[in-house]
Amino acid sequence: MERFQHALRVIAVVTATALFGMILGGTFGYVAALITPTFFEATLPWKQVEPIGVATVLGAFGGTLCGGALGAFAMLLQTVSDGRRRARED
């Protein structure tokens, strides 16, 4: 039962950090496109899409990847430190 609870905790933490990263990345992309719209217009190969939309989606995608990776790394560090603490107690 302890392993199941640990697995649920890992899934919850990684999902929460990925969602938080998505929100921050999307917000960053949206604000960046509002501040410098000509930069995104010049770098986009497609002319039919809105630069603000593309910047928001790309920012959210990058934020999701970075947030999920950060959450997974945090859970890895916690698992290693818990294992070391248990080994010291024995």
Beta strands in 14-63 (DSSP E): none
Alpha carbon distance 56, 37 (integer Å):
12
Q: What angle do CA 15, 58, 77 make, to 5 degrees?
A: 35
Cα 62 off chain centre by: 7
Residue 6, burial from CB neighbour count under 10 angstroms (0-12, 13-18, 19+): middle
Alpha carbon distance 34, 19 (integer Å):
22
The pLDDT tens digits for 15-46 are: 999 999 999 999 999 999 999 878 877 777 77
Query: What residue ranges do the domains of the chain occupy?
Result: 2-83
Alpha carbon distance 41, 27 (integer Å):
18
Which pTM does this prediction carry? 0.82
Find the mean pLDDT for residues 54-78.
94
